[in-house]
Structure 1
Amino acid sequence: MQYIDIHENQIYIRLAVTDSQDLKLLHFSALPLHEEDLVKEAIPEGFPFLSMNLAGFDRPYERHGNKFIVTAPGYRMKYLSHSDERNEFGRLLTFHTKDEETGVTAASFWQFYDDLPVIRTWHTVTNNGHETQTLDYIANFHYEGIEKEGKLSRDEKLKVMIPHNGWQRELNWKAYTFPELGMELVQEPSIQRSSNHLHISNTGNWSAKEYLPMAYLENTEVHTGLFWEIDHNGSWHWEIGDQNGHFYLALGGPNETYSHWFKDLKPGESFTTVPAAVGVTGIGFDDAMGTLTDYRRKIRRKNQDNEKLPVIFNDYMNCLWGRPTAAEEYPLVDAAAEAGCEYFCIDAGWYADGDWWDSVGEWEESRKRFPEGVKKVTDYIRSKGLVPGVWLEPEVMGIRCDLAKKLPDDWFFVRHGKRVYDRSRFQLDYRNPAVRAHMDEVVDRLVSEYGVGYIKTDYNIEPGIGTELSADSVGEGMLEHERAYISWLDGLFKRHPELIIENCSSGGLRMDYGMLSRCSIQSTSDQENYLQYAVIAANAPTGVTPEQAAVWAYPMNHEESISPDALREEVIFNMVSAMLLRIHQSGHLAKLDEERKALVKQALSVYKTIRPNIRVSRPFWPLGLAGYSDEIVSLGLFVEGKAYLAVWKRSGAAESVTLPISDAVRTALDSEKIALSCIYPGPETAEASYDPLEKAVKVALPKPVMARLFELTPDR
């Protein structure tokens, strides 16, 4: 047995090459390996480095069910070599393995990032044999032994945190013990195998319609954590199951069982998986999310938007609701400019005379809504010192779109010989060069004719498992479309490097770093209730970096009678929700009274002073992640020498809250004494203090609904 021991960026790793040249992954943790923690009765197929399945081969030994264990030829892949080099990010390990029977080889990549306990991993599989092989599953990362540190049983010490996601209910994290998931230990520990397992998947083009493609596993006994995300804008899968006396984690992109994907590899052909990230922590959840925040900044496209964080006004939420007209835009432009906004986006509806849902696709302006043309309005926007933007839904055509009626079927997803419908739209297929050329023409025209510098790209359908045209499987058609769409975005940014593109999918239903490695802004939700939005805003940095997380701030225009104090607090609450992230200002600013206009303007002014720190900050949660039943929620960001803390009171009788400040934040402030200041709406509006003995901020919350934003600095 030959061991490969690695200690890189606080990750302890052990791989082994057996006498029969099998490559094993024995350890991946924030703690060193204790060999006595490994089950000694391991079957020969245990601890595989590569989990990969080709059609037509036996998978022996285990009680599989739908679990991806003892995959073939994954379990029999033989180690050939590995390389160890450095690049601009850090250390890069590449492992080469081969299946002698089929001639299939795999190059497996582990990219480390200097000073971050995380790797990015992907594989390239090549058929070097003489017969076509059908690849139907491959895991980016397969690690057996995720529970092994500590003395307590797995039932007592393991907790998995899963980010549920849904329309207007985004970033809804829940924590589960393994017994709560129906995975109690009921066998001898050396056996520990069953037909059931925890599996979380997405099938389709809305990557986050039920869950974000990420999760966190904590060992509460030894205080270690394992976290992961799949950086893909489509189908993905991860699972935790038992095998060989241990629990394993396996994660990756699409597969046949859960997403109807397989790929026929002819001799000489290769397939590269989607990338994923896996990391460790010995501190806790906040540290894991901080590591992911830094990792996401390293893998995304470099752009000025994420450096400058300009304030965007969008006319949709609690404002024009997708029914814009030139007459209504002009006063909004004036009000947005006066408030301090820097971009102005005309949202949905600019291209249609009336109801537009099922007729979109040609993207020509409506002269009924804009009698003198959209350019007249965008010119006015520029005259006020703002950059104009428009809404676009580039992946669909409505079933009543005249152009769609004239086009051949290969422009669209097709199954069973018929175009795929969803919500009265067709799904465009970006593998088709004509589709990409059409949308290139649309975007280039918007930029050249209207002077557009911002495009909100929305996506409001789910086309399902994929397309059968020109594909081995419908899932392959889906994957190749998704890759072609990303390539199309790359082309846009190459032609228009200053263009800002927002990633919106009915809010946050495609919140993934396949998309966000390109798009600089992510819509976090379409949530219309600002009291609920605080929960989404507080949790947003788990799924997206703070500077990419767009949150609506939409002061309301009430018809009912509401006290002046309640109206003020409503504006403050709305603004605080966005001020540690990206402000998507909305609401009908032109109709607000002067006091509320002043509160919006003040918030934007304060935001401009703190945004240089937001773009390099790490998040923390003094009260833990927010839940929809929580009366009080909180979010903090910290950099060296400074921290910001938002607190929202959504309801309840409590008139104060104590917010513990973690060791990491206090270390960044580098002082036992901390000065605390309410920076919005101002010191006179909050009663708050820092208690050095309790190492906590205490805030009075006397009003029924309220929010405040604080700055923490060293008190030398």
Structure 2
Amino acid sequence: MTDEVVGGPERPASVDWATSSFAARFRTAPDSPVALVSFVRTGDPLADGEPDPQPLADGPPDPQPLVELTTIGHGRFPGGYRHVDTTIGARLRYVCHDTEPHPGGSPTDVTGDGDPAAAVDGTDLWFRIVQEDATTGLRTVSVFRARDGVAAFQTWTVVSATAGRHVLDAVSSFTTGAFSVDSGADVDDMTLLHADNDWAAESRWRTDPLREIGLARIDRDAQHHPPRSRAVVQNRGSWSTGEALPIGVLSTPGYALVWQVEHDGPWLYELGETRRHAYLLCSGPTDQEHQWTAVVTPDAPVTSVPVSVGIARSVDDAFGVLTAQRRARRVLRPVDQDLPLVFNDYMNTLMGDPTTAKLLPLIDAAADTGADVFCIDAGWYAEGHWWDTVGEWEPAASRFPGGLELVLDHIRARGMQPGLWLEPEVIGIHSPLASTLPDDAFVQHHGVRVAEHGRHLLDLRSPAAREHLDAVADRLFGTLGVTFCKMDCNTMTGPFPGMLEHQRALLAWLDGVQARFPRLLVENCASGAMRADAAMLSRLHLQSTSDQQDPVLSATIAAAAPAAMLPEQAGNWAYPAPSMSPDLFALSLVNGVLGRMYLSGHLNEMSAEQRAVVDAAVAAHREVLGIVGSAVPVWPLGLPAWEDPWVSLGLAVPGGDLYLTVWSLPGGPASVSIPLPARTGQPVSVTPLFPTDLGSWEVSWEPSVGVLHVGDGGTTPTARVFRVRTEGADTER
């Protein structure tokens, strides 16, 4: 990028950037920092087929700056806990902009997050805008990239110095107040859709008015200052989604702004008010929340974490945009397109106690059911108690008298690929490696190794740590020929110096392993979904959605999962047990049909009738696998709350069928009306996909209002998967 001002020597008052799906306007006035003042959809037809113009707005006279950053010695004015009102952010001034691809360099030069998708790609549309602070000599580059046809962009900030040494303690990846003008709504009318996330209680979505989650209404004119309250959603430790999901939807009727922070470590987003409007700020770690600082010098720029931001007209539309953006930014290798059905021996089955004698009959039963992969879960390396002794990842001889190779060969002989559970980033505090690896191989805080849950965490910035992990990978994926890895991480650390660089080194290590072993599929797991972030999901094959062992509680998690990840990556446990009632047995399988069924359970101990039900569920799932990579998730009853009695998830095939799962859970009425407005006035057939027998369920379609009426026949908990088809429509795919 050159410093030449695009458009000639006169500094433009604003610059626009447009794709086929959105348009953005940046104010570039000479006496104020650059601001994104308008971000609107383009090219969308209205109900009558006419295009919706949605013109760009010029914004308020004092818009929210695009970049906010603080250094030691240059903070905020007025002061407070918010990450806006920064003195450097207010002093930044437009230098230039361009729309050229990044001029070479490695992928980490582009995003700093080790993202292979960040390399220059001819399908990407780029926009970059440069600002500088004359007082400190700090320069920022706001980088945007998008794909035609997707109403979203990915963005991040690069901070560099023309002179001196600057200790950066916060930098935004994205900040705007454009939604205040574009939506035409006041803060009083805005709501935030967001999700708490916890072990075995993932994806607990809720909608809150901004006034009820921290934005207090004050008399701004009387105070002569903007309010200083804020609404913050954040994660503080090495589990990137251990507290909350890094996703939000800000909505008013007819308008929705959606975003996700794309980092495998700490992050935050905050919402607040300016003197006249409101703002959204997204960032990675900060000093205030996460004890993070970074030194910026002329030779050492700092790059923020990426954020994706999309524009939509409703909450469902927002997740459709986010789904398209996730697909556009995912590194999809040829092997990822196979979508194998995985059987895993852990959940409610062997529970970390595999042996040759236990595995062989399970392998045979999984093969008979049609599984493509058999994954041996935790415990294969353990002679006894293993939690705090892990790290060497050598097979336990006592568990496999003929060697682990015998079991792996049996998996292959039955036509399946072998998989192993692995927790590569940890070393047990009583592992021999805790004393043989050098100190710099471990995460340290104040010169002391961090120990959590009986483990030390490897610091992936260390050559010794990476050498150890590479040796493990070469042995398991090379010598043993394992082609599926369930990569777990059950240890969460708090903040430590260098966490951002460590997390980026982890991503780079994963990229290297998959480059060396191109047929390897990696499942992302961290005590379920405690690290289900877009940085990991952009490069890994499958995401564990939970460690929840109760199929009834798993239903809500499975239903909400595609809001946090692609449906083709949502690994939902399906663990039927021989002792279950027929309805619960079927429900446990229903949980896995829409998305990626992650099968478990004692198949070898089931009756012929029960095995037939499992086979029917697998057949239904195979049909869904044919469309899951192009389908868009929808929630006709809204995203489920944690204890909703009726829950529904749909996968809509563009121009085709709707695959709809409906769960009836304890505590609710015997029937529900499910709105399907896109099919109003049309003849619709509703066919049970699984179980294929409606049983006590009753289903009727009311075309005049576009509502599907469903009753459970008085039985609960119970669930069904339906195929909804508009009669006479062309359903070829």
Q: TM-score, normalised by structure 1?
A: 0.92
Write the distance in 1 (CA, Å) between the matches of 2:700 and 2:561. Answer: 26
- Which of 710, 713, 716 lines up with 1:699 in the alignment? 710
Residue in structure 2 matched with residue 708 of structure 1 by the alignment: 720
- Which of 412, 419, 423 lines up with 2:449 in the alignment? 419
- Which of 605, 610, 618 lines up with 2:632 in the alignment? 618
Residue in structure 1 matched with residue 369 of structure 2 by the alignment: 339
Residue in structure 2 matched with residue 605 of structure 1 by the alignment: 619
Write the distance in 2 (CA, Å) between the matches of 1:446 and 1:3. Answer: 56
Deviations 1:121-179 (A, max 9, x none): 012222121x1111111111111253345666422x11111111000110001111122
Shift of 1:462: 1.0
Write the distance in 2 (CA, Å) between the matches of 1:683 and 1:367. Answer: 47
- Which of 112, 123, 127 lines up with 2:161 in the alignment? 127
Residue in structure 2 matched with residue 253 of structure 1 by the alignment: 284
Q: Does 1:288 align with 2:299?
A: no
Shift of 1:101: 2.5
Do the aligned residues in 2 keep the contact of 1:217 with 1:226 (CA within 8 Å)? yes
Residue in structure 1 matched with residue 246 of structure 2 by the alignment: 213
Cα 1:433–1:151 change in 2 (3 A) is: closer
Deviations 1:627-653 (A, max 9, x none): 222111010001131110000111245
After superposition, where does 1:637-656 map in structure 2 within 5 Å? Answer: 637-639=651-653, 640-652=655-667, 654-656=669-671
Q: Identity rate of aligned residues, in percent?
A: 36
Do the aligned residues in 2 keep the contact of 1:204 with 1:478 (CA within 8 Å)? no
Write the distance in 2 (CA, Å) between the matches of 1:237 and 1:674. Answer: 44
- Which of 194, 203, 206 lines up with 1:162 in the alignment? 194
Do the aligned residues in 1 keep the contact of 2:636 with 2:648 (CA within 8 Å)? yes
Shift of 1:454: 0.5
Do the aligned residues in 1 keep the contact of 2:40 with 2:311 (CA within 8 Å)? yes
Residue in structure 1 matched with residue 108 of structure 2 by the alignment: none
Do the aligned residues in 1 keep the contact of 2:203 with 2:557 (CA within 8 Å)? yes
Q: Does 1:596 align with 2:628?
A: no
Do the aligned residues in 2 keep the contact of 1:308 with 1:611 (CA within 8 Å)? no
Deviations 1:30-75 (A, max 9, x none): 454555x73x5x4xxx521221222212533x3x311012223221
Shift of 1:408: 1.7
Write the distance in 1 (CA, Å) between the matches of 2:668 and 2:277. Answer: 47
Do the aligned residues in 2 keep the contact of 1:303 with 1:520 (CA within 8 Å)? no
Cα 1:711–1:18 change in 2 (3 A) is: same
542-551 or 74-83, larger mean C-alpha shift: 74-83
Do the aligned residues in 2 keep the contact of 1:147 with 1:158 (CA within 8 Å)? no
- Which of 308, 326, 351 lines up with 1:277 in the alignment? 308
Q: Does 1:318 align with 2:326?
A: no
Do the aligned residues in 2 keep the contact of 1:555 with 1:571 (CA within 8 Å)? yes
Q: Does 1:688 align with 2:699?
A: yes
1:507 partner letter: G
Write the distance in 1 (CA, Å) between the matches of 2:414 and 2:151. Answer: 46
Do the aligned residues in 1 keep the contact of 2:374 with 2:419 (CA within 8 Å)? yes
Which runs of 5 or more structure 1 residues have no equivalent in the other structure?
Answer: 467-473, 559-565
Deviations 1:582-605 (A, max 9, x none): 111001111111111110111112
Residue in structure 2 matched with residue 100 of structure 1 by the alignment: 134
Do the aligned residues in 1 keep the contact of 2:57 with 2:181 (CA within 8 Å)? no
Residue in structure 1 matched with residue 687 of structure 2 by the alignment: 677
- Which of 193, 197, 219 lines up with 1:187 in the alignment? 219
Cα 1:436–1:653 change in 2 (3 A) is: closer
1:608 partner letter: R
Write the distance in 1 (CA, Å) between the matches of 2:403 and 2:479. Answer: 11
SS in 2 for 1:140: strand
After superposition, where does 1:39-50 map in structure 2 within 5 Å? Answer: 40=61, 42=62, 46-50=63-67
* RMSD (Å), alpha carbons: 1.9
After superposition, where does 1:450-461 map in structure 2 within 5 Å? Answer: 450-461=480-491
After superposition, where does 1:170-569 map in structure 2 within 5 Å? Answer: 170-188=202-220, 193-220=226-253, 223-282=254-313, 284-466=314-496, 474=497, 477-558=498-579, 567-569=581-583
SS in 1 for 2:535: coil
Shift of 1:448: 3.0
Shift of 1:251: 0.4
Write the distance in 2 (CA, Å) between the matches of 1:159 and 1:586. Answer: 39
Shift of 1:534: 0.4
Write the distance in 1 (CA, Å) between the matches of 2:444 and 2:503. Answer: 15
Shift of 1:305: 4.9
SS in 2 for 1:451: coil
Which runs of 5 or more structure 2 residues have no equivalent in the other structure?
Answer: 1-11, 42-53, 102-120, 729-733
Q: Does 1:142 align with 2:175?
A: yes
Shift of 1:616: 1.0
13-22 or 567-576, larger mean C-alpha shift: 13-22
Shift of 1:306: 4.0
Residue in structure 1 matched with residue 109 of structure 2 by the alignment: none
2:354 partner letter: P
Shift of 1:314: 0.4
Deviations 1:168-194 (A, max 9, x none): 110001111122124232214695722
1:207 partner letter: S
- Which of 89, 100, 105 lines up with 1:74 in the alignment? 89
Do the aligned residues in 2 keep the contact of 1:307 with 1:612 (CA within 8 Å)? no
Deviations 1:485-525 (A, max 9, x none): 10000011101111011110000000101111111101000
Cα 1:138–1:9 change in 2 (3 A) is: farther
Do the aligned residues in 2 keep the contact of 1:147 with 1:219 (CA within 8 Å)? no
Do the aligned residues in 2 keep the contact of 1:29 with 1:226 (CA within 8 Å)? no
Write the distance in 1 (CA, Å) between the matches of 2:725 and 2:221. Answer: 51
SS in 2 for 1:73: helix
Cα 1:391–1:189 change in 2 (3 A) is: farther
Write the distance in 2 (CA, Å) between the matches of 1:502 and 1:538. Answer: 19
Do the aligned residues in 1 keep the contact of 2:437 with 2:464 (CA within 8 Å)? no
2:724 partner letter: L
Residue in structure 2 matched with residue 113 of structure 1 by the alignment: 147
Cα 1:118–1:172 change in 2 (3 A) is: same
Cα 1:239–1:58 change in 2 (3 A) is: closer
Do the aligned residues in 1 keep the contact of 2:528 with 2:547 (CA within 8 Å)? yes
Do the aligned residues in 2 keep the contact of 1:552 with 1:585 (CA within 8 Å)? yes
Write the distance in 2 (CA, Å) between the matches of 1:153 and 1:104. Answer: 34
Deviations 1:466-492 (A, max 9, x none): 2xxxxxxx1xx1111111110000011
Write the distance in 1 (CA, Å) between the matches of 2:456 and 2:32. Answer: 50
Do the aligned residues in 2 keep the contact of 1:654 with 1:701 (CA within 8 Å)? no
Write the distance in 2 (CA, Å) between the matches of 1:489 and 1:509. Answer: 18
Do the aligned residues in 2 keep the contact of 1:69 with 1:243 (CA within 8 Å)? no
1:674 partner letter: V
Shift of 1:693: 1.0
Do the aligned residues in 1 keep the contact of 2:568 with 2:629 (CA within 8 Å)? yes
1:602 partner letter: A
Shift of 1:692: 1.2
SS in 2 for 1:535: helix
Shift of 1:530: 0.4
Cα 1:151–1:201 change in 2 (3 A) is: closer
Cα 1:408–1:150 change in 2 (3 A) is: closer
Write the distance in 2 (CA, Å) between the matches of 1:458 and 1:646. Answer: 29
